[in-house]
Homo-oligomer: A and B are copies of this chain.
């Protein structure tokens, strides 16, 4: 019997080596496409070994940086380790690591924040330069060399196809029963594209595995490590109120006949507020739900267990240790109700439009006219990135953006006169929700929107100042389509930067 039960392709046994040996195959200046999406399915050994190699090079006075391309965010063992040793020249398309964030905002790391549905096509067509190495975690390698993906799919298909060399991490911690959960479909490239034949979240249109040209494989590293599993906070009072407002709204829309009683495929961003909405749905009246989303988090697993959620389509998991345990214990059953797809498909604008998703995403701040900042604190410091929120919000049947009305103990109003960075424009936001209430902006001119956003969503402490700004803007603004006072529209932000509070 083989000592490498997960490496079922015998021809590849000769490539099995240590993480250090594999890391030695990665040269300075290359671009590496790594697996990983919201802390799931990222390579766990080679990036750390590579970081140590880079550290040694740095100590020897040599420059050693690489380009790191992933699905989305990863974990400390990847982003954290490589950022710590200043090993990343350019990072794309998304990250959420605290060390990387610090380096980026200090100006020490280049970061490119991209719609997640755009990455694969841009890489395949060489928009970002040459991809040298693919470094991918898999659950197993089949007899024919095909790869059983891990707990995320992300851009792995594109990395495998586009890279000159492939390094695989075979993680035996990942449940072998993941085999069969994935649906690997490759969109054609222009000018040869045809309609993607997906009309329901539950449609399977591809293969279970990623075909791999085994002659490109230069190293295989065996690992046995869990994904970084972040625990979710239990919903706080504010998240519960936001969830209530959304549930009431959905109820109203169903009664109006604008959405069916089983709703429409749910897209839910990552985080505690999104999780609270899912928890709310679990107590709500809606049955036979589906999701077409990026990430499956705890609330979705709970909805599946209760039977409310019929099936879920995503590109990755993002589970607490408890939910992960539950998933692993019942993988055979979940496998029939969960599909993981390439992010080019999970986030595809045409499919999101076709399915008519209900899109629910967090944000940093919204302004009175419905523009949304998802990425930059005070306009200049990147928090994480736009991720898939643009793919979904622009094409959703109804797009919700959610935030508590204040941050930093009330020192920041998340409803401001003008957002300090725009990721989602006034043309893209249907509904703004805070714990204070819900503003339905559909069909409203900017001025009508301003009244709704201020009266429904702003915190009472900031309602007066917002009304006053709007009143003065309406009076003094040169144009009255979108009244603004450009001299003072960022006054709240600059006050916060000076005094630590937006309050006067």
Contact = CB atoms under 8 A, between A and B. Distances in A.
Interface of A: 90, 104-107, 110-115, 118, 121-122, 125-129, 190-191, 193-199, 256-260, 264, 348-351, 353-356, 371, 376-382, 386, 390, 394-395, 397, 420-428, 442-445, 447-448, 474, 477-484, 486-487, 489-490, 493-494, 497
Contacts of A115: 394, 427-428
B258 A481 contact: no
Contacts of A126: 256-258
Nearest to A426: B113
A447 B199 contact: no
A104 B481 contact: yes
Contacts of A422: 371, 422, 425
Contacts of A127: 258, 442-443
Contacts of A111: 445, 481
A444 B487 CA distance: 31
Given A371-B422, A394-B394, 18 more contacts: A104-B481, A110-B447, A112-B443, A115-B394, A121-B397, A125-B258, A126-B256, A190-B355, A194-B354, A348-B353, A350-B354, A379-B484, A382-B482, A423-B427, A486-B493, A486-B494, A486-B497, A487-B494
A497 B481 contact: no
Q: Which of A118, A127, A481, A482 has the most CB of B within 10 A?
A: A481
A440 to B, nearest CB: 9
A112 B441 CA distance: 11
Closest 4 pairs (CB-CB, A-B): A350-B350, A381-B479, A190-B356, A107-B480
Given A115-B427, A445-B112, A191 B490 contact: no
B110 A445 contact: yes
B196 A195 contact: yes
Nearest to A114: B427
Contact of A478 (B197, B256, B381): B381
Contacts of A259: 190
A256 B106 CA distance: 35
Given A380-B480, A381-B481, A390 B354 contact: no
B105 A480 contact: yes
A353 B489 CA distance: 36
A126 B420 CA distance: 33
A152 B483 CA distance: 34
Contacts of A442: 122, 127-128
Contacts of A256: 126
A397 B394 CA distance: 17
Contacts of A445: 90, 110-112
A106 B111 CA distance: 42
A96 to B, nearest CB: 14
11 contacts: A110-B448, A111-B445, A190-B259, A348-B353, A350-B350, A378-B478, A420-B484, A420-B486, A422-B425, A423-B427, A490-B490
